[in-house]
């Protein structure tokens, strides 16, 4: 329950701060965690070694790990700040490239599976769907305890974007949304449910989720990669990629589709590894 109370306290005490000041406080918290909680940086360090190379200089590695923790803390501030921001204010901080790719996929009327990674400021970037009136449901991890999940979901949905926790019945609901021609969004860089497949990711085998691929193959929905990046000036850039060519039948179709997603995730993560805010090692053996 301590995470729930931490969110509540932060919401009451920090969410009213100006963004720059909030980010400064978030960076201080991240530096404290880096210094006094070494376990917080173990998984991040392993992820960074895969991205930067196993021969990466120790100073460069430590700097990257520290920056990941800082960006994670900034994302938490973005989340608690979200209900206090107007959509037009958020829109002023967003630049979007490739939006036509999503529009083209939606016009097919078979639904769109948007795939992404835990990159940039996930919750801020997701508001683009509310700003541009695209009915989108985001599949997210079912946090525990339930009060924490309910609180975080309320923050995320404060401007009308729907978030659905990944629990029993969620996949069936997602399939229905796709068949209705809507869009769903999910991160594909972490295998949370333990039902993924082995794929090469940054040169080494890792277990990646297959949910997005299997839903698209069953419904005929397009798979459209989408990513975002935090800029130094406090703004955010969203990139929408062309729909990937989905293999629908034949041996290894799922594997091939997952590989395509992995390749585009690699490209964006390599561009700004310090914004890949995944705190557990992707390659850790469970």
Length of the chain: 286
Residue 155 belongs to domain spanning: 2-275
Greater pLDDT, 46 or 8 = 46
The Cα 4–Cα 88 span in angstroms is: 29
Q: Is the pLDDT of residue 3 over 70?
A: yes
**DSSP secondary structure code for residue 283 in this structure:** T
| Average pLDDT rounded to a whole number, residues 109-131 | 97
Nearest to 223 by CA among 110, 96, 140, 124: 110
Element (H, E) at 199: strand 197-201
- Of the pLDDT bands very low, low, confident and very high (cuts 50, 70, 90), residue 286 is low
- Let me know: does 241 contact 266? Beta carbons within 8 Å: no
Give the Å distances, CA to CA, from 25 to 37, 59, 70, 76, 148: 18, 24, 10, 11, 22
Torsion of CA 269, 271, 274, 280, to 10 degrees: 10
Is residue 88 situated within a structural domain?
yes
| Average pLDDT rounded to a whole number, residues 113-124 | 97
State the pLDDT at residue 4.
82
The gap between the terminal CA atoms of the chain, to the nearest Å, is 25
Is residue 260 situated within a structural domain?
yes
Is residue 284 situated within a structural domain?
no
| Average pLDDT rounded to a whole number, residues 8-35 | 93
Which tens digits make up the pLDDT trace of 135-174? 999 999 989 888 999 999 999 999 999 999 988 889 899 9
How many folded domains does the chain comprise? 1
Is residue 61 situated within a structural domain?
yes
- Let me know: does 199 contact 212? Beta carbons within 8 Å: no
Is residue 254 situated within a structural domain?
yes
Give the Å distances, CA to CA, from 125 to 50, 91, 94, 161, 268: 26, 10, 8, 11, 15
Please give the order of strands across the beta sheet that includes 94-97.
Answer: 94-97, 236-240, 222-230, 112-116, 183-187, 136-140, 162-165
Q: What is the pTM of this model?
A: 0.95
The Cα 122–Cα 114 span in angstroms is: 13
Q: Is the pLDDT of residue 77 over 80?
A: yes
Is residue 93 situated within a structural domain?
yes
3-class SS at 236?
Answer: strand
Give the Å distances, CA to CA, from 205 to 34, 35, 198, 244, 275: 28, 31, 6, 22, 22
Q: Is the pLDDT of residue 1 over 80?
A: no
Which tens digits make up the pLDDT trace of 200-233? 999 999 999 999 999 999 999 999 999 999 998 8
Nearest to 244 by CA among 226, 228, 257: 257
State the pLDDT at residue 184.
98
Is residue 145 situated within a structural domain?
yes
Average pLDDT of the chain is 94
Nearest to 101 by CA among 197, 222, 20, 208: 222
The Cα 59–Cα 65 span in angstroms is: 10
**Residue 55, C-beta contacts closer than 8 angstroms, at least 6 positions apart:** none
State the pLDDT at residue 194.
66
Is residue 283 situated within a structural domain?
no
Greater pLDDT, 183 or 167 = 183
- Let me know: does 91 contact 132? Beta carbons within 8 Å: no
Q: Is the pLDDT of residue 193 over 60?
A: yes
Which tens digits make up the pLDDT trace of 218-271? 999 999 999 999 998 889 999 999 999 999 887 799 999 999 999 999 999 999
């Amino acid at each position: 329950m301590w995470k729930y109370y931490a969110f509540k306290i932060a919401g009451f005490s920090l969410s009213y701060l100006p963004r720059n000041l909030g980010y400064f406080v978030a960076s201080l918290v991240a530096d404290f965690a880096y210094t006094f909680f070494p376990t917080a940086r173990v998984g991040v360090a392993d992820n960074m070694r895969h991205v930067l190379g196993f021969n990466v200089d120790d100073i460069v590695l430590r700097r990257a790990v520290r920056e990941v923790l800082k960006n994670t803390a900034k994302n938490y501030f973005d989340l608690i700040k979200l209900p206090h921001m107007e959509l037009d204010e958020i829109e002023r901080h967003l630049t979007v490239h490739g939006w036509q790719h999503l529009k083209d996929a939606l016009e097919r009327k078979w639904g769109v599976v948007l795939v992404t990674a835990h990159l940039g400021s996930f919750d801020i970037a997701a508001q683009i769907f509310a700003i541009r009136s695209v009915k989108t449901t985001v599949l997210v991890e079912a946090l525990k305890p339930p009060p924490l999940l309910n609180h975080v979901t309320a923050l995320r949905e404060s401007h009308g974007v729907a978030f659905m926790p990944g629990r029993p019945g969620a996949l069936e609901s997602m399939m229905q949304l796709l068949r209705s021609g809507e869009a769903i969004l999910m991160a594909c860089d972490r295998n949370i449910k333990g039902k993924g497949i082995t794929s090469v990711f940054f040169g080494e085998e890792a277990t990646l989720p297959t949910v997005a691929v299997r839903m698209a193959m069953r419904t005929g929905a397009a798979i459209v990669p989408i990513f975002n990046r935090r800029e130094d000036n406090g703004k955010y850039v969203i990139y929408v990629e062309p729909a990937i060519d989905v293999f629908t039948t034949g041996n290894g179709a799922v594997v091939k589709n997952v590989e395509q997603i992995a390749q585009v995730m690699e490209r964006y993560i390599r561009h700004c590894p310090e914004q890949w805010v995944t705190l557990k090692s992707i390659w850790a053996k469970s």
